[in-house]
Amino acid sequence: MTPLQNKDYQTLLNGLKEKIRQARVKAIHAANFHLIQVYWEIGNTIAQQEQAEGWGAKTVDNLSKDLKAEFTDMKGLSPRNLRYMRDFANAYTLFPILQPLAAKLRSTNSLKIKNKVLQPPAAKLHTASDDQFVQPLLAQIPWTHHTIILDKIKTAEERYFYIHKTIENGWSKNVLSLQIESGLYKRQGKAINNFSQTLPASDSDLAAQTFKSPYILEFLSLSEAAKERDVERGLTEHLKKFMLELGRGFAYVGNQYNLNVEGDDYFLDLLFYNYHLHCFVVFELKIGEFKPEFAGKLNFYINTINQQIKGAGDKPTIGILLCKTPNDTVVKYSLQGIETPIGVADYKLKQALPKELKSELPSVKELESILNTKAEERKASFEKQLEKLKPLIGKYKNHRSKTQKNKT
């Protein structure tokens, strides 16, 4: 065996591969930073000229044409994209996007507001410690993500929320669109809970913002007569979509998880582990409205997991009850005095069509037949009208020909 074939060589090779991968990632991030910077500068120039000189739409079209002629290899100079750049600069006028690379913002991990998962307004993002140098927030997501946010979100706080969440979770543009359409901003941190009374202050805020209400489970098409097991079965069959709705940090442990207490078996609906909260999370599903006894049963499950499964390095288990929650006061009273952390959240299902309505609707084949019939009818009607017009068109042509001859 040559020296280059031994274990040390493989270690050396793997180390070099990792360095190359990291260099590539850094190069991509640097390129994105400079692109976002240039786009902001272009957009800011257009915005200033429109305000000062009254530039119209044609000016932006001409600017696009001239820039394309000069930079033939550069994409993103269409009139539409130039207008996105202008809107981008108008949306983030106070953000220090043009600051030198040395003057960085503090890590986004430290950008938390108590009881809010929001990026603070731009004016609050200026201070940075010397050892916490990161790229400005706007430059940490791709341009296509910015265009989606500009199209769909109108307020500054909500924009910063989705920018921060995209960075935190590494969302693709499709996932970002899905999260915006599901109204994540309005749902995050809305579960009713007793976390502030049962968890240390350093953990309670993070736990509160990890869970939302309502949970959107519209990938399940269930009738009104669905049972808890139907919902549970649907969630396990669509686990990837459910994990996306749960958010960052969840690892699936199992469903109908068996707990044995003094010879008696109990089965909790869904068990996860969250590696940001460093704890097990129990999800119990209930069809219908919240009842106080639900909290007692979930409390029993949490205590059992803490005794039988929880490791020395794990934090207290959290329980989340998914059910209809019309009366916040009843929920809050039910959680008072319980020493384990519990949250109660609503959920929304995409209801399947009732049988009565479904029987009255045409099938796909029937719809196709109707559409084809209508198309044939419209075609026949048009041809009939055309036949009536032909003599009139002929008379008009003859009259026009005679008029022209008389003029000559």
Percentage of residues of the chain with pLDDT beyond 90? 33
Task: Say if residues 137 and 108 touch (Cβ distance below 8 Å).
Answer: yes
Over residues 72-120, the pLDDT tens digits come to 888 889 999 999 999 999 998 755 444 433 333 333 333 333 333 333 3
Q: Residue 253: which of 297, 311, 292 has the closest Cα?
A: 311
Quick one: pLDDT at residue 4?
54
- Report the pLDDT value the prediction gives residue 104, as an integer from 0 to 100: 35
Which SS3 state, helix, strand or coil, does residue 272 take? strand
Average pLDDT over all residues of the chain: 78
166 vs 99, more confident: 166
User: How many C-beta atoms surround the C-beta of residue 54 within 10 A?
Assistant: 8
pLDDT in tens, 263-296: 999 999 999 999 999 999 999 988 888 999 999 9
Rounded percentage of the chain residues whose pLDDT exceeds 70:
73
Q: Is-contact 182 114, C-beta < 8 A?
A: no
Whole-prediction pTM value? 0.65
pLDDT at 296: 93
Strand pairing category for 215-222 and 192-193: unpaired
Average pLDDT for residues 315-337, to the nearest whole number?
89
The confidence score (pLDDT) of residue 11 equals 85
Q: Tell me the per-residue pLDDT of 223-258, one tens digit each, with 9 for 90 and over.
A: 555 677 778 788 888 888 888 888 888 999 998 999
Could you read off the pLDDT of 12-43 as tens digits, one per residue?
888 888 898 888 888 887 888 889 989 998 99
Q: Cβ distance 293 to 258 under 8 Å? A: no
* pLDDT given for residue 118 in this prediction: 36
pLDDT, residue 109, reads 37
Question: In sequence order, what DSSP letters do the residues of 189-232 get, joined into one string?
Answer: T-SEE-HHHHS-HHHHHHHHHH-BSSEEEEEEEE-TT--HHHHH
- CA 1 to each of CA 9, 11, 13, 14, 48: distance values in angstroms, whole numbers, following the listed order: 11, 16, 17, 19, 69
